[in-house]
Each structure stands twice: as C-alpha cells, then as structure tokens.
Amino acid sequence: MTVLTPRIAAELAKEVYFVQNESTLPFFLARNELSASIDKKQKLTAQVGGRLIRTAKDGFGICAMGGKGYEKDLFLIFRGSTSANRNADWISNARIGVQFSKNGLPVHTGFNSIFKSMLPSIKEFIIANKDIQTIHCVGHSLGGAVATLAADWVKSQLKKTVKLYTFGAPKPGLMLFATNLTTKLEKKNIYRTYHASDPVPMIPVFPFVQPPLPGYGHFIPSNESILSAEAHDIGKYLTSVKESSWSELERRSPPYNAESMVEEWLKSKSPVTSSSHKIWQWINAGLIYVLKKIAGPLIVALQAGLMGILTITDLVAMLLKKGLDLLKAAGEWVRRLITKMMQAVGIRVVKQDEELTQEVIRGVLSKVMEKTNAEAKRAIQMIS
C-alpha cells in the first residue's frame, strides 16, 4: 500500500494551482505518480463563490489514476482559490454555517457546496475506473477542506483505503464529523499538516474542529509569535516538509494538543493574557477536553442543537452548566476552564458556583468566540 511522501503530497497540492486551463492539464498529469494516458484523468469543475455572487466556472480539482508504483491508486487533488476567482469569498462569515454532509454529519456549508458541485464529476470518474485500491485525497487551504469532505464521501462509497493529506486547511466541520472521519479513515491515514503561525487552520472558530480527532495532525513549529501571511503559502509548506518523513513531522506535535499538557494548563494558577495567539488555541483545546469529559455520548446533542433550536453558544453553555452542576469530577475542569476564559477576555473571575449561571457562562463563551474570531479575522485581513 502506497503512502505519498510529504514532498510528493505537497508538490501535488502546489502544482494543482497551476492547472488553470485545459491545455496545462496533460503536463500536470505527466508527473511520475500519475498515469500517462489522458483519458484516465479528468478535470473537476466547481462553482466557486457564494450563491448570491455570480462567478465563472473554474477548475478546482483533478481526478487521476496513478502511474508506475501507484497503479491502482486514485488521486483526488483540490486547490484553493486563486487570483482569477478572487470572488470566491469562502473566508467570509456569511459563508460559515453548518449543513449535513452526504453521510449526515455536520460540515461547513461553504466547503460542502463546493464539494457537492464537484461530486458528479468525481462519481463519473470512479465509475469509469473500476480497479481502485487506494484513494489519495490531497489539497491546500480551501482545497484541503474540500479534500477532507471528498475523503469522507469516497470512504463511505468505496470501502477502500483512503488517505488524506492536507496543508494549511481550514476546519471542515464540527466535532461529530471530525471524530467520525477519524474512526472511518483511521488516524494513521490522516496527514494534516500545518504551520503553527498559519491562521487559516484556526478558522472557523470552535465548535468547528480539525480531524484527526482525537489526534493532532502534523505540526510544524514556528518561533514567530504572530500569525503570518507567508505561513499559509503552499510554497512555504513544500519547503517545510520536503526533506521530512511523516513520522518526523508527527513527532513535532504542539503542546496544546497533548491531553496531559491541556490538563496541566487548566490546572496552572498563573493568569492568562490575550497577548499571544496561542492562548486561543489553548482555550480551544481546553474546551474540547472539558466537553469530552462532560458530554461524551451527549456530544450528539451538539448536532441536535444545530437543527435551529439553540445556537452553538447556547448549547455549549448548557453542556458546561450541566457538567458543573451534575458531575463532581468534570465540574472541577469546567470551573478551571471558565476561569481561564474569563482571564483571557478580561472579565472579573467569578469564584462561586452559584454565580456561574448558564447565562454567565454563555456570556463568557460569546466573548471568547468574539475575541477568537477577531484574532483570526485580524490575521486573515493581514494576509488577504
């Protein structure tokens, strides 16, 4: 069974951006990993941009069968937006919503509509190529989110080995989607690569989460304390990974993704400040940690809540409140987390449980989400 090396995966994710016309497609497909006969490949097209904005059709991804050494492999390679389709405003809040994927899981509305628009071409291609053993889904940025949805779909259809490689991808869906995908694909088949200082993988903010879950992907540390434009560039990703193996990249996992470190952080008495972008990632990790402790199977409620009865903030506040009131052990973690969140957004820390009403918790959460949003937005504006 073949695994693409970090270099090859990053090269594919980069080079797909340069396929802007039908005429460049054969030269992309001339790569060693891809099969030489043109009829085995097909360009996918997608409707880019919002439903309200009329935009032109554009190539968005490529299906190809593998070449020598990858004979029974199917490649699904997606790219992010380019200057030629600059109206593809996927980053905007208006496009951030939740809808249910083909498999009934909560995913990002914008990414899902792009994926759905490409699905007929993917289906056609798969029908035409019967002997498929392994599927490689690859993409950078928006393309990485779409590749993730493609991996989810293709796994449920084909029951073959599906490998997912993403670089600097935004969060494709909610917790239930991420955990379900991780179980289905198996964690070892998810190669999510991201620079610590790339803001795109941070968005949209919680409750959107990154697969693998549990797990933390492949992390490239950075000494920069600020989020940077260059850190999102696919060229920079290629440079970062090209000499490494996946296991080398995995070894560099960030501290806030290890449960023991999250516990450590929640327990620490030192007050938090909002001066570093890392604080929002710690809070995010803390929130996931605590919700897993209190909700467990109840996490399904997160999905139910999306049916329109409650907002996400209401729902999370409700879960935290329940945890605080009903569960002795988990209640302690809820208290610690809320304290951290209050410090981070600069509001007076409430010590008494009686004061921590659902409304107060909801208020803290809103502030945290607002601040995280603002932080991510500031970073995005800086680079967009």
Partner 1 sequence: MFQKQEEEVVLFSPMQGQITLNGKPVADARVERFLKWKDETGEKDSFSTDQNGQFKIPVKKDTVKLSTISKFVIAQEIRVYIDKEEYLIWTMGTGNKTRYGELGGKPINLRCELSDAMQRVEVDDGLLGTSCQWDSIEKK
Of residues 37 and 381, the one with the C-beta less far from partner 1: 381
Is 384 a binder of partner 1 (CB under 8 A)? yes
Applying CB under 8 A, which part among 14-22, 151-159, 344-352, 356-364 lies near partner 1? 14-22
**What is the CB-side half-sphere exposure of residue 302 using CA atoms within 13 A?**
29
Binding-site string for partner 1 from residue 312 to residue 351, where x marks contact by CB under 8 A and - marks none: ----------------------------------------
143/155 Cα distance (integer angstroms): 18
Binder among 124, 230, 248, 359 for partner 1 (CB under 8 A): 230
> What part of residues 122-151 is at the interface with partner 1 (CB under 8 A)?
141
Structure tokens that stand for 94 in this block: 């208006």
Pick the binder of partner 1 from 128, 347, 349, 382 (CB under 8 A): 382
DSSP code of residue 272: P
Rule CB under 8 A: is residue 383 a binding residue for partner 1?
yes
Rounded to the nearest whole angstrom, what is the least distance from the CB of residue 44 to partner 1 in the complex?
A: 16
**Which residues 55-94 are close enough to bind partner 1 by CB under 8 A?**
55-58, 79-86, 88, 91
Judge whether 235 and 202 are in contact, CB under 8 Å: no
Q: How far apart are CA 266 and CA 201, in angstroms?
A: 23
Q: Give the integer Cα–Cα distance in Å for 61 and 77.
A: 5
Residues constituting the chain: 384
40: left (phi over 0), alpha (psi -120 to 50) or beta: alpha
Quick one: DSSP state of residue 242? T
- For residue 218, give the 3-state DSSP assignment: strand
Distance in Å, CB of 174 to partner 1, minimum: 22
Q: Which of 365, 335, 304, 60 is nearest to 174 (CA)?
A: 304
Nearer of residues 276 and 384 to partner 1, judged by Cβ: 384
Query: Which span (37-45, 53-61, 272-280, 295-303) binds partner 1, by CB under 8 A?
Result: 53-61
Is the CB of 214 or the CB of 235 nearer to partner 1? 235
- Burial (CB < 10 A; 0-12, 13-18, 19+), residue 228, is middle
Mind giving me the DSSP string for 61-80?
A: EEEEEB-TT-TTEEEEEE--
Question: Is position 235 an interface residue for partner 1 (rule: CB under 8 A)?
Answer: yes
- Is 134 within 8 Å of 167 (Cβ atoms)? no
CB of 31 to partner 1, least distance (A): 8
Binding range to partner 1, per CB under 8 A, among 109-117, 311-319, 327-335, 375-383 = 375-383
The stretch among 24-32, 180-188, 252-260, 268-276 that binds partner 1 (CB under 8 A) is: 24-32
Nearer to partner 1, 245 or 384 (CB): 384
For residue 381, state whether it binds partner 1 (rule: CB under 8 A).
Answer: yes
Distance separating alpha carbons of residues 185 and 203, to the nearest angstrom: 23
Judged by beta carbon, residue 17 or residue 100, the one nearer partner 1 is 17
In 3D space, the residue among 26, 135, 137, 145 whose CA is nearest the CA of residue 81 turns out to be 145
- What residue type is assigned to position 178 of the chain? A
Distance of closest approach, residue 371 Cβ to partner 1, in angstroms: 18
3, 229, 261, 318: residue in contact with partner 1 (rule CB under 8 A): 229
81 or 101, CB closer to partner 1?
81
> What is the footprint of partner 1 within residues 180-219 (CB under 8 A)?
200
186 φψ region: left (φ > 0), alpha (ψ -120 to 50), beta (else): left
Site size with partner 1, rule: CB under 8 A: 40
Please list, in sequence order, all residues whose beta carbon lies within 8 angstroms of the beta carbon of residue 268, skipping any fewer than 6 positions away.
none
Q: Which of 9, 107, 209, 234 binds partner 1 (CB under 8 A)?
A: 234
**CB 125 to partner 1: min, Å:** 21
Cα distance between residue 59 and residue 61, in whole Å = 6
**Is the Cβ of residue 88 or residue 368 nearer to partner 1 in the bound state?**
88
Give the rounded distance of the alpha carbon of 359 from its chain centre: 30
Binding residues vs partner 1 (CB under 8 A): 15, 17-21, 23-24, 26-28, 30, 55-58, 79-86, 88, 91, 141, 200, 229-230, 232-235, 378, 380-384
